[in-house]
Structure 1
Amino acid sequence: MKNNQFANYTPTFETQIKELKAIDLYIASETNPTHLLEQLLNKILIDYQTIGAKQQKMMSLLATESVSVYEFFTTKKELTPVIFYNIALQLLEFEVDVDFKIDDPFTAMAKIQLPSIEIIESVNDFWSAWYLLLTTHTKNGQVFTDTLANKGYFVSFYKDAKPLFFNGKAQPVFDTTKLIREVVYVEAPLDTDQDGQRDLLKTEILRPLVTSGQKVPILYTASPYNQGTNDDSELMHNVDIPLTEKPVIELNESDITYNYQKSNLPESRSILSESTKTEQTFSRESSYTFNDYMLARGFAIVYAAGIGTRESDGIRTCGSVEETVSTVAIIEWLTGHRQAFTNKLDNRSINATWSNGNVAMTGKSYLGTLATAAATTGVSGLKTIISEAAISSWYDYYRENGLVVAPEACQGEDADVLAALCLSRQKDAADYANIQDYFNKVMEQLSIGQDRTSGNYNKFWDERNYLNQTKNIKANIVMVHGLNDWNVKPRQVEQLWQALRPLPIVKKLFLHQGKHIYINNFRSLDFTDMMNLWLSNQLYNIENGAETLIPNVTIQDNLEAETWHTYDDWADPDSPTQSYHFQQDKLTQSVTSDAHQFDTFKDNLPTDLFNNYVRDNHLWNQALISTKETEMAKNRIQLISEPLTEPLFISGSAHIKLSVAAAQTKGLISCMLIDYGEENRLNPVPSILKRKSLDMGFHWREDDLVEFTKNPKKTSWKMISKGHINLQNRTNRYQNDSVLPGTFNTIDFDLQPTAYHVKEGHQVGLIIYATDFGMTLRNNDSDSYTINLANSRLKIPYQSIDATALF
């Protein structure tokens, strides 16, 4: 394994001693390192409750090849660095002869990338080594102080619990068996169900029981799924239909620009009484384990599903301004700028008297999307967001360059489908009856606005483009995204990263090799520790260097397991590019002399084969990419480079320029960028190393420990990226141009951005095709296309670094 630990803060020696005293792991009366270590082990072996039990444990640990830790302490010999780290590694859950050699722990520590102090001559050296040990990650995914906490070390701190920080990070000193669980109803400045009253939004709160008068910061997750979803009633659109010719139109930017018009709102509710106690609780929320982790460390957790969800008012509108306003309303109440009530009937108001006014938003996918949306309003009190796999523009979620393009595994889904899925008010029959007719009308409006007929960008999508408002962002931002996420595709985070460049905020980016996943439970990366460091700084104002200690860009290696690299930037618009020219079956870096090289492919398949690929997109994908002669051979143009003579690290979006002629008056082009080469690649899904082994606190919630592992079987290729375009949208994504059969037109478009290392000896491949069975409409018309190879190009942006030094 490799330990990639970026949140290990190094304070002054004086601060280290002060922090050790604060967590009761400093002994002032002793100066002999051997005696100190013995006394400290007796303190931290918290799950061994008697002297005999502790001695039993020490007898099971080795100090040297032939001496147990217990025997070492009885002989009172000098504590050498080798003995210290032999003991330390076993405390960190590493195994003798499996993970390290007892006569040489430092070789293994260097390989695993564990920090150490190799000279322990004075008592001060000992305390520095001890402090560093407490901050070091174990073999099983958590910092050592967390493993102590999970065994109950901090229980003695519960009585007078107040925020406690060690190594710049909040510690779990709050009793999770005595949490306050309460519900309030926040009044939003909306009336989305048109019932003549402002929408009330159910808000679930979990907060630690703190010493009287203390105020805590908040992690807020806006999740439309929080109150349930209507899975049984989900209706997908039919995608097995022909691509249609669009009427030629010329528009300008003003024609597709959305301008929000505020509607006349009902007056706010009159407050009839005030309360300091809520009237509703809950037994189990739809939680996020990172929130659970921080809850034990002195942060309140808030979940709200928003308008149109169960026990809230309003209707779902999928990414609209109203959803953003609904999300922000909760923050405004938490910071004292909006009213909330104890129930929906009695107009009894309640304030968040326990809030310190500092809010962060967390969550993945739709949850992270609403965090991004809230940040673009510049709302006061929102100090930071941690947005994971978040949408920055809904058009780029359901569309691409004038085409209807679905998220992976969601063929037929669209904005209206998602709105209906999340309208959990439907689960309460009487409540739903009040809004059913109106919601059906809204669904009709969503259907019209999303315009599946043309696939064009319009005012509907412009309203749902958060990039239009990024100039308003004041919160610092952490972004997390999977480089193989074909649900919320990498373009979403790349667009936001680019938009944030000129803003005077702190922004951090994590790119992993996963799909649509969280990364807080990875063994190889201290993501949870980094976010603890970050939030302790952002919400508790702890001076811990988080803004500089956490790398600007952290990218997981696509070749080596458990390997992460750090950079100052990603997808720099000024990155150099490597150009490839097209020849028959080849990508070449030399210019072709033949200006009349052409290649043709078709888009239709035999009906049986077409239906087979509809049922199993994986089979279609394999047939399309394979270098062998397959059923898809005539439905693609496959171009492959010579083996690379040096590594290539792609950073950003590969750009395609094609000279293409269609045999019909409409058409689409899809492209895939491929890494061809035999390799033991990472598995596409993280492996579970230990189930429910990550404790979020003492007797609290748990999570699986996971990691990307290498496939023991070699594979011959890996798709790097892909992209799609409607031939009628070659000018832009909202204008329709004509397609004259047999006439060559130039189209330019970007593939999805990536960070990818193509190994020396591997080959770069480009596949040009039309229908993408997993994403586009599945056309089986007798369409065909011709590419003028000599007038077509592929440009790949690369990081100008010594790739061999990094990989």
Structure 2
Amino acid sequence: MSTRMRFTIWRPLATAVITLLTAAFLTPTAAHSASDAAGLSGAARESRPVYSYQNAVREAVWVDTGLDGDGDGRTDRVAVDVVRPREPAAQGRKVPVIMDASPYYSCCGRGNESQRKTYDAAGNVVRMPLFYDNYFVPRGYAFVGVDLSGTSRSDGCEDVGGRYEVQSAKAVVDWLNGRARAYTTRTGSATAKADWTNGRTGMIGKSWDGTIANAVAATGVRGLKTIVPISAISSWYDYYFAQGAPLYDSGPDRLADYVDSPESHAKCTAVQRRLVDEAPRTGDLTSLWAERDYVKNAHHVKASVFLVHGLQDLNVRTKHLGQWWDALARNGVERKIWLSQTGHVDPFDFRRATWVETLHRWFDHELLGYDNGIDREPMADIERHPDQWVTSKVWPPKGTRTATLRPAVGARPGVGALGLRKGTGTTAFTDDPGLGETDWAAQIDASTPEKAGFVTGALTRDLRLSGSSKVTVTATPTTATAHLTAVLVDVGPDVIRDYAASGEGITTLTDRTCWGESTAGDSACFKETTARTADVGQTVVSRGWADLGTYADPGKGVPLTPGKAYTITLDLAATDHVVPAGHRLALIVAGTDKDLIDPPADSPTLTLDLSRTSARVPFVGGADAFARATFGSAARTPYAGPLDGVGTPHHTYRIP
């Protein structure tokens, strides 16, 4: 692990005065002991592992949510497992909390090794999944693992991002801040107080866990100081649909069934029925989805946000990070971001040492108040090539502006040009549900019937895309239903993480490295990973989908009139990608994206009106940068090498 930066401790003025007065009355030996007890090194000035993990307090409490989701006549209690250092409480000092609220602690496990909680005979946690408790408890933090409502040892119902689930996590933050009641048992009356914490809480988690962190932050709950959402959902509608086009051939009822406990499954038929009835596969926006849209409540967020996402995450797609990031920016939320080349992967498994160090410094700054400079460092870390990272002072970078790109017909059907001048004419394609974005990209220079492709000439200089794009399409279908896909492609040879393989860009090894302290029942040692790469001839860098029937109202689809033209704008997922000089930038418009959206009832042919079709793409330097990069470029020159590209995206039943 690299040497950490030295930094000074920041405290509000009153605290600083008290500290100075206290130090004045301490002998040098006593002052040094006080510093050690606080988990600080006088040299490095960061939280250090001075507390015993072996002797940490391990306890379970059940927090009252104030809701009766399972309808049994009493308010639900959620199970909260706590691991905290013993020494601070004995010395009369309080500690901050790192919290991971999850539905997966008993059903499925957490992390690359699918770890589950284990318990001793008294019901206290022995193994807490992941490294957070092993690493941070010795450094003066408590770690809290929450079983979301209806899962594992908790009462209530799992309603997949809804009121019961969010409240089950928010109630724990309230309890940590003295505003909610907890009990020492699931059904008893003996209460438990969180008198060992100062209430300063940071939530962390990948996927569904990170989604709950987003949701709780969007309530504005007091005491939540920071969240670290990794590959997290920001709107559950956008997890299951893309502007009306359905994904994954399932709905939230299947997820609830996947994680709920047998007890809650028996009690929660009404909640489960709502997850079916109010989440129709038509893609219509309902009140159920509105309740699960956290973006609209971003103005309530008071916590800072350290967001991590894979740019090739085809499970929780980067639309989630883009719309959440933009909403947080509009509301002035303190933010930091990491963007990797991986799919749905935790940073512990693609940049381990730097991740642990950075997370440590982030929590020290946000929860302990140390002025370690992390808030003055570049906002964004971006993986350009496997294990090769760059930084950006702000994200998207200053000077990023949207350019409107126009498609134009070419010499052959479906093989057109892409530039700044308005195009004319039409081109057509026929939906083929057996093909997808990687198939289309591999055939960008071929006249194939299932896609319409538009390509620049070879770039004369690098061109950086940063942010979220939009593609407006005017299309005339031959059937009453039609789905659309738009993708941006970097055409040219490269070595990338193989995000379409089962590891989504990583390979898990057998050797282990250790991060924190271990006990007999909870090892701090985890399997190492390495980048899994692929030689490619083209890379899809952003994609978006829509049901053409939502052209007038994104919240409700209607049947189409064959032969009538419709205009719709597709939101493409956020990205940050450099198309290097010598490569080409392509826009592809097609129908069903195999394994990523479900096909429509029919397989229509769609005719595009190119004079009314365009892509609005955020470039660093805007339209001027695009013009410079394409000025003097030669006519499209297909790459003649043997590179195949990544395979079909690894498709199983997806869970966040």
TM-score category (smaller protein):
0.7 to 0.9
The answer to whether residue 325 in structure 2 is matched with residue 502 in structure 1 is: no
Counterpart pick for 1:788 among 588, 605, 609: 609
Structure 2 counterparts to residues 1-400 of structure 1, below 5 A:
8-9=5-6, 162-165=38-41, 167-211=44-88, 212=90, 213-229=92-108, 280-285=123-128, 287-400=129-242
Q: Per the alignment, in what secondary structure is the counterpart of residue 383 of structure 1?
A: strand
| Corresponding position of 2:253 | 416
Task: Give the Cα separation in 2 of the matches to 1:482 and 1:637.
Answer: 27
Task: Give the Cα separation in 1 of the matches to 2:611 and 2:330.
Answer: 39
Task: Give the Cα separation in 1 of the matches to 2:223 and 2:58.
Answer: 23
Q: Per the alignment, in what secondary structure is the counterpart of residue 553 of structure 2?
A: coil
The answer to whether residue 279 in structure 2 is matched with residue 450 in structure 1 is: yes
Q: Per the alignment, in what secondary structure is the counterpart of residue 576 of structure 1?
A: strand
| Corresponding position of 2:647 | none
Counterpart pick for 1:696 among 505, 516, 521: 516
Q: Per the alignment, in what secondary structure is the counterpart of residue 575 of structure 1?
A: strand
Cα deviation, residue 446, structure 1: 1.1
Label 1:4 to 1:674 Cα distance change in 2 as closer, same or farther (>3 A).
Answer: farther
Label 1:506 to 1:590 Cα distance change in 2 as closer, same or farther (>3 A).
Answer: closer
| Corresponding position of 1:681 | 496
Task: Give the Cα separation in 2 of the matches to 1:692 and 1:514.
Answer: 21
Label 1:482 to 1:4 Cα distance change in 2 as closer, same or farther (>3 A).
Answer: farther
Among all aligned residue pairs of Structure 1 and Structure 2, give the percentage whose two residues are the same amino acid. Answer: 26
Task: Give the Cα separation in 2 of the matches to 1:588 and 1:458.
Answer: 38
Q: Per the alignment, in what secondary structure is the counterpart of residue 220 of structure 1?
A: strand
Task: Tell me which amino acid in the other structure corresponds to 2:249.
Answer: G
Task: Give the Cα separation in 2 of the matches to 1:347 and 1:690.
Answer: 47
Task: Give the Cα separation in 1 of the matches to 2:464 and 2:338.
Answer: 17
Task: Tell me which amino acid in the other structure corresponds to 2:147.
Answer: A
The answer to whether residue 569 in structure 2 is matched with residue 569 in structure 1 is: no
Task: Give the Cα separation in 2 of the matches to 1:511 and 1:463.
Answer: 28
Label 1:683 to 1:724 Cα distance change in 2 as closer, same or farther (>3 A).
Answer: closer
Cα deviation, residue 326, structure 1: 1.0
Task: Give the Cα separation in 2 of the matches to 1:8 and 1:160.
Answer: 19
Question: 1:360–1:384: 8 Å Cα contact kept in structure 2?
Answer: yes
Structure 2 counterparts to residues 465-476 of structure 1, below 5 A:
465-476=293-304
Label 1:782 to 1:340 Cα distance change in 2 as closer, same or farther (>3 A).
Answer: closer
Question: 2:244–2:550: 8 Å Cα contact kept in structure 1?
Answer: yes
Counterpart pick for 1:723 among 521, 544, 547: 544
Label 1:571 to 1:196 Cα distance change in 2 as closer, same or farther (>3 A).
Answer: farther
Q: Per the alignment, in what secondary structure is the counterpart of residue 351 of structure 1?
A: coil
Q: Deviations over 1:269-300 (max 9, x none)?
A: xxxxxxxxx96313223x12244321231211
Q: Per the alignment, in what secondary structure is the counterpart of residue 191 of structure 2?
A: strand
Task: Give the Cα separation in 1 of the matches to 2:179 and 2:122.
Answer: 22
Question: 2:322–2:573: 8 Å Cα contact kept in structure 1?
Answer: no
Question: 1:307–1:315: 8 Å Cα contact kept in structure 2?
Answer: yes
Task: Tell me which amino acid in the other structure corresponds to 2:379.
Answer: N
Q: TM-score, normalization: structure 1?
A: 0.67
Label 1:682 to 1:180 Cα distance change in 2 as closer, same or farther (>3 A).
Answer: same
Q: Deviations over 1:450-505 (max 9, x none)?
A: 111x2022211111001122111111111111111111111111111111123343
Task: Tell me which amino acid in the other structure corresponds to 2:125.
Answer: F
Question: 2:400–2:620: 8 Å Cα contact kept in structure 1?
Answer: no
The answer to whether residue 409 in structure 2 is matched with residue 583 in structure 1 is: yes
| Corresponding position of 2:381 | 554
Q: Deviations over 1:326-364 (max 9, x none)?
A: 111111111221111111233011112221221111111
Q: Per the alignment, in what secondary structure is the counterpart of residue 125 of structure 2?
A: coil
Structure with higher Rg: it is 1
The answer to whether residue 374 in structure 2 is matched with residue 541 in structure 1 is: no
Question: 2:379–2:394: 8 Å Cα contact kept in structure 1?
Answer: yes
Task: Give the Cα separation in 1 of the matches to 2:7 and 2:65.
Answer: 44
Question: 2:479–2:602: 8 Å Cα contact kept in structure 1?
Answer: no
Label 1:661 to 1:174 Cα distance change in 2 as closer, same or farther (>3 A).
Answer: same
Q: Per the alignment, in what secondary structure is the counterpart of residue 450 of structure 1?
A: coil
Task: Tell me which amino acid in the other structure corresponds to 2:50.
Answer: V
Q: Deviations over 1:649-679 (max 9, x none)?
A: 0011222122210011221111221111122
Question: 1:603–1:780: 8 Å Cα contact kept in structure 2?
Answer: no
Question: 2:8–2:370: 8 Å Cα contact kept in structure 1?
Answer: no
Question: 1:364–1:390: 8 Å Cα contact kept in structure 2?
Answer: yes
More helix by share: 1
Label 1:523 to 1:322 Cα distance change in 2 as closer, same or farther (>3 A).
Answer: closer
Question: 1:483–1:514: 8 Å Cα contact kept in structure 2?
Answer: yes
Task: Give the Cα separation in 1 of the matches to 2:236 and 2:582.
Answer: 39
Task: Give the Cα separation in 1 of the matches to 2:153 and 2:516.
Answer: 29
| Corresponding position of 1:259 | none
| Corresponding position of 2:345 | 517
Counting matched residue pairs gives 578
Task: Give the Cα separation in 1 of the matches to 2:234 and 2:467.
Answer: 17
The answer to whether residue 321 in structure 2 is matched with residue 488 in structure 1 is: no
Cα deviation, residue 689, structure 1: 7.2
Cα deviation, residue 721, structure 1: 1.4
| Corresponding position of 2:428 | 600
The answer to whether residue 443 in structure 2 is matched with residue 627 in structure 1 is: yes
Label 1:395 to 1:443 Cα distance change in 2 as closer, same or farther (>3 A).
Answer: same
Label 1:582 to 1:689 Cα distance change in 2 as closer, same or farther (>3 A).
Answer: farther
Task: Tell me which amino acid in the other structure corresponds to 2:217.
Answer: A
Question: 2:379–2:391: 8 Å Cα contact kept in structure 1?
Answer: no
Task: Give the Cα separation in 2 of the matches to 1:316 and 1:291.
Answer: 26
- Tell me whether 183-192 or 520-529 shows the greater mean CA deviation: 520-529
Cα deviation, residue 172, structure 1: 1.4
More strand by share: 2
Task: Tell me which amino acid in the other structure corresponds to 2:196.
Answer: W
Q: Per the alignment, in what secondary structure is the counterpart of residue 798 of structure 1?
A: strand
Cα deviation, residue 752, structure 1: 0.9
Q: Per the alignment, in what secondary structure is the counterpart of residue 66 of structure 2?
A: coil
Task: Give the gaps of 5 or more residues in structure 2.
Answer: 10-32, 110-120, 500-504, 627-656
Label 1:229 to 1:192 Cα distance change in 2 as closer, same or farther (>3 A).
Answer: farther
Task: Tell me which amino acid in the other structure corresponds to 1:546.
Answer: I
Cα deviation, residue 441, structure 1: 2.9
Task: Give the Cα separation in 1 of the matches to 2:516 and 2:408.
Answer: 54
RMSD: 3.1
Task: Tell me which amino acid in the other structure corresponds to 2:341.
Answer: Q
Task: Give the Cα separation in 2 of the matches to 1:354 and 1:628.
Answer: 61
Question: 1:449–1:460: 8 Å Cα contact kept in structure 2?
Answer: yes
Task: Tell me which amino acid in the other structure corresponds to 2:237.
Answer: Y
Q: Per the alignment, in what secondary structure is the counterpart of residue 526 of structure 1?
A: helix
Counterpart pick for 2:466 among 622, 626, 651: 651
Q: Deviations over 1:484-532 (max 9, x none)?
A: 1111111111111111123343211221111111113545872322221
